[in-house]
Amino acid sequence: MNNIESSVYKINTANGTGTGFYSRENDIIITNYHVVAGCHTVSVKGKDKNRYLTQVLYVNPGKDIAFLRADSLPKPVDTVLLDHSTVSQTRDKVIVLGYPYGMPFTVTEGIVSNPRQSIGGSYFIQTDAAINPGNSGGPVINEKGELMGIVTSKFSDADNMGFAIPLETLKEELRVVNDLTNVFTLGCSNCGGLIEEKSDYCPNCGTNIDEKLFEEIELSDFSLKVEAAISKLDINPVLARSGRERWYFHQGSAEIRMFVYDNNYLFATSPLNDLPRKNLAEVYEYILTADTEPHRLSISDNQIYLSYRIHISDLYSDHTNEILENLAHLAIKADALDNTFVTKFGAEMTHYSK
């Protein structure tokens, strides 16, 4: 089980986060369509905390399935098993792997409540295993590591009712993998035909197609400004996106977080170090007297932070360029300061650090 975990990834987009898993047989990452909807490029993050630029190759909104490819991703040796003949049965034990609510990797267990629950004309595996937002796209496996299904949804007003797309549905979609190119491709939910060019109908069967399915969601002007600051660090902003108007990334060893606070402020912060057990007086004096302007050192929950806060309206003032520089410099300064606290005061890096 521990080896399989390395093939399950957190998927980060400008709209939110989800889960995906690597298929060695097909050299793709499998997830839900709704996890990557409106995106042609996303990032995936494994347990090593590294993020990898990932292309959305194929989506089938009707089946809620998407295939991704990350060329630079180190290929895991042990993966979820897709090539097997085990059939889900009522009361079978199942295990859900994923990143609920964008949290670190999590494992939950349950049983199959109904292996063929009919919803909206399609069959799903119903389970009582804990499933939450962020689990979407993750694998549901048995104790042998065999894939039973892909997490797709839960009833928000009911407990212990989660649903997974059955393996047989996924296998039907996997037949197209060898026909895919490096172009974003839409699968017709009616005939299964592959559509590479934007169209309002399927060239194969004539079914009406919503052209918006081919389009990437446009970022707000506010998001573009923040990403301009991230670009100053020679970081592709796609690699930093962690949900709507939320960016997490590493500058060297330091984790950097940028997000909207209280609907009015852009907050940038970095958890530098855990407070040391010794030399606290010296640490406090340094935090109070060190010249880090316009950034600010502080302590919260026994950790040392470097932070910067501005009112969102200031991004649209004459100080825009200065603010973007300050955001970028916070990341550079954080990468230096966490080492300073280690060497001068014996502090340790936080578990967020690389």
Q: Are residues 37 and 109 in the same domain?
A: no
* pLDDT value, residue 247: 98
Are residues 234 and 98 both part of a single domain?
no
Distance CA 268, CA 260 (A): 9
Give domain status of residue 234, yes or no: yes
pLDDT classification of 335: cutoffs 50, 70, 90: very high
Encoding tokens for residue 331? Answer: 């990341």
Cβ partners under 8 Å of residue 336, min gap 6: none
- Please give the structure tokens belonging to residue 239: 């690699």
Average pLDDT of span 20-36: 96
Residue 309, judged by CB atoms within 10 A of its CB (0-12, 13-18, 19+), counts as middle
For the segment 233-259, the average pLDDT, to the nearest whole number, is 97
Nearest Cα residue to 135 out of 111, 114, 173, 165: 165
The residue-averaged pLDDT of 1-27 equals 93
Residues contacting residue 231 through CB under 8 Å, at least 6 positions apart = 237
Q: Do 108 and 256 belong to one domain?
A: no
Please answer whether residues 288 and 304 qualify as being in contact, where contact means their C-beta atoms are separated by less than 8 angstroms: no
**In this structure, what CATH number is given to the domain that contains residue 25?**
2.40.10.10
CATH assignment of the domain containing 337: 3.30.1460.10
Same-domain status, 236 and 328: yes
The whole-number pLDDT of residue 48 equals 83
What are the pLDDT digits (tens) for 133-172?
Answer: 999 999 999 999 999 999 998 666 667 789 999 999 999 9
Query: Which DSSP category does 83 fall into?
Result: S
Indicate whether 308 and 187 sit together in one domain: no
342 shares its domain with 266: yes
**Enzyme catalytic residues:** 34, 64, 136
Report residue 121 as tokens: 């004309």
Question: Same domain for 320 and 284?
Answer: yes
**Structurally, how many domains does the chain consist of?**
3
Its domain, for residue 279, covers 221-349
- Please indicate, yes or no, if residue 81 is contained in any of the structural domains: no
CA-based nearest residue to 184, from 61, 60, 55, 62 = 55
- Do 141 and 253 reside in the same domain of the chain? no
User: Both 112 and 56 in a single domain?
Assistant: no
Q: How many degrees, rounded to 5, is the angle at CA 63 between CA 16 and CA 241?
A: 15
Q: Indicate the residue among 181, 214, 247 that finishes a domain.
A: 214
Q: Is 230 in a helix, a strand, or coil? A: helix
Q: 206 lies in a domain?
A: yes
Q: Is residue 83 part of a domain?
A: no
User: Is 1 contained in some domain?
Assistant: no
Is there a domain that residue 63 lies in?
yes
Q: Is the pTM here over 0.95, yes or no? A: no
Whether the predicted pLDDT of 3 surpasses 90 = no
**87 lies in some domain:** no
The answer on 147 and 285 residing in a single domain is: no
Task: Report the distance separating Cα 249 and Cα 334, nearest Å.
Answer: 12
Same domain, 263 and 181: no
* Residue 291 placed within a domain: yes
> What average pLDDT does the structure give for the chain?
95
Q: Are 292 and 185 in the same domain?
A: no
Beta bridge partners of 13: none
